[in-house]
């Protein structure tokens, strides 16, 4: 299993009670997990709606926006993950599994 590179939690959680920071981290981790699952399930799907959702996830992951609380960079920071590490892992996974989608025949 690959080792996950974790960063120190975001300064946004500094000064908050530990249970609040923990709940925020759990929520952000759930958001990240759902996004990765949506991407993996949809990127080569024969179902157009799933592919659209996968490409929305890809755009979200590649964005450096931090203005929105649930921006990818903010979600990564909340759980102590490096956004660049996650992006690199996602690109590597995509290259490794890349194949002509079944829906193209």
Domain ranges across the chain: 19-96
The two structure tokens encoding residue 31: 């958001």
pLDDT digit string, tens, across residues 16-57: 556 556 899 999 999 999 999 999 999 989 999 999 999 999
Predicted TM-score (pTM) of this structure: 0.73
- The whole-number pLDDT of residue 65 equals 96
DSSP percent split of the chain into helix, strand, coil, nearest 5: 65, 0, 35
Rounded CA-CA distance 86/91 in Å is 9
Of 19, 18, 31, 17, nearest in space to 77 by CA: 31
């Amino acid at each position: 299993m690959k080792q996950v590179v974790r960063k120190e939690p975001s300064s946004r959680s500094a000064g908050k009670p530990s249970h609040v920071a923990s709940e925020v981290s759990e929520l952000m981790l759930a958001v990240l997990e759902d996004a990765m699952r949506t991407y993996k399930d949809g990127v080569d799907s024969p179902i157009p709606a799933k592919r659209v959702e996968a490409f929305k996830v890809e755009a979200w992951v590649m964005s450096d926006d931090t203005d929105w609380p649930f921006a990818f960079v903010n979600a990564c920071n909340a759980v102590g993950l490096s956004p660049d590490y996650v992006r690199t892992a996602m690109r590597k996974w995509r290259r490794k599994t890349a194949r002509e989608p079944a829906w193209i025949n």
